[in-house]
Structure formats: structure tokens, C-alpha cells
Amino acid sequence: MTATPTVLLTGFQPFGGEQVNPSWQAVSALHGARIAGHRVVARELPVAFGDSLKALRAALKDTQPALVLCVGQAGGRAQLSLERVAINLDDARIPDNAGRQPIDAPVVEGGPAAYFSTLPIKAMREALRAKGLPAEVSQTAGTYVCNHVFYGLMHALRRQRRVRAGFLHIPYSPAQAATHPGAPSLPVETVTAALRLMVRVALRTRSDARVAAGAEH
């Protein structure tokens, strides 16, 4: 009997003084779900340079996924941000949960300057907007642990062309935004529904939509 193909979703532990991380809350709600004939496996990653990639590589080995979407929180952003590019740079504004704060260090010594997402991010954005969900293609995943994981993910899969992968940033949850006056938010349940839609679109779309999704700044 042929094994059911797998989709790997990852979220992060809380960081920066927060009590929860909605990336893990949203992702974990889909653990065990079936989407377009694929089984979803959710894994939580530590907010720590180095350790996050060890956990990610272990998850990749365990699940042998057909598709990977890593999810992280970007407090202050108002939209679901489908990241286009990961850069080979760690430049931490604050220490990670292990107390490390790399500055101007490569994610992978000798690695290429950047990797692009291999997900159909424009088609995914269009599907989200069609459902009334705020979504954008983002041109920067930052230089903290999220970018570290995004770059490490694409580097790990660089020779596995059949495995499509990328990264999504999400806003604060409403509970978090209550302690950050004026900050935009999205309910965790909305993010979970959006993830289900994005995975379905990614599994069913081979060639990305040719629509404008650039940025002026």
C-alpha cells in the first residue's frame, strides 16, 4: 500500500516576552488533517539560531514531505505575508531564546546569497484575497530566526527539486495585540483556515500566477 504523502507545517515557540506564538497555535490545529490527498504533520521549532535548523532537519528526515510551509510571527504586520526570498544573513536585533545574538553572520558559511521560495506565492495570495483575507507577497523575511529557518529550509532542500517549500509571516493574535496598542491582528482560527487554503492551492498549482506583487520600498 502506498503511503499517504505528507505536508510539513512548522510554527515557533513564544519569544520576545510573549506568552504564546500564534504561528504554532495555527499550525498545530491542522496536525493530522488531510488536504488534497496529503496528510499534515505539524512541528514546533525553537526560537534559537542553530537549534531551530537542527529541529527542522529532523522533521524533514522524519516526514519526507512533498511540501513544506514554515510559519512565523511578525508582530506589527497587518497581512499574511508570503515571503519571496531568504538571505544568507543572521543579524539579530534581540537575543534568541537561548541568549544568542549573532550579528552579520551567515546562516550557512559559503552558501549562496539568497534562495527564493518554490511555492506558488502569487497564486496563494490571490486565493487568500478572493476569500477576503489580507495577504501580500513580502520581499523580506527579516534577519532573525524566521529568515534563518527559511534560508536553512531552502538550503536543505536545494537538491530535492520535487519538494516545494517556503515561509509565511503572520500578524499578532488579538490576545497579543491587546498588549500592543494599535497593532493589527488576525484570529488564530482565521490563520488556520488560511493555511488550509494555502496548502491546497500550493498542492494543486504547478505554475505560479503571473500577476504583479512587487514593492516600491
pLDDT, position 161: 86
Q: pLDDT for 74-95, tens place per residue?
A: 999 999 999 999 999 999 999 9
DSSP alpha helices (H): ranges in the chain?
A: 22-28, 51-63, 121-130, 145-156, 174-177, 188-204
**Spatial separation of the C-alpha atoms in residues 41 and 159, rounded to whole Å:** 22
Catalytic site residues? 83, 146, 169
Domains, the chain, in order of start with CATH, read: 6-204 (3.40.630.20)
User: What's this model's pTM, rounded to 2 decimal places?
Assistant: 0.95
Q: pLDDT for 101-157, tens place per residue?
A: 999 999 999 999 999 999 999 999 999 999 999 999 999 999 999 999 999 999 999
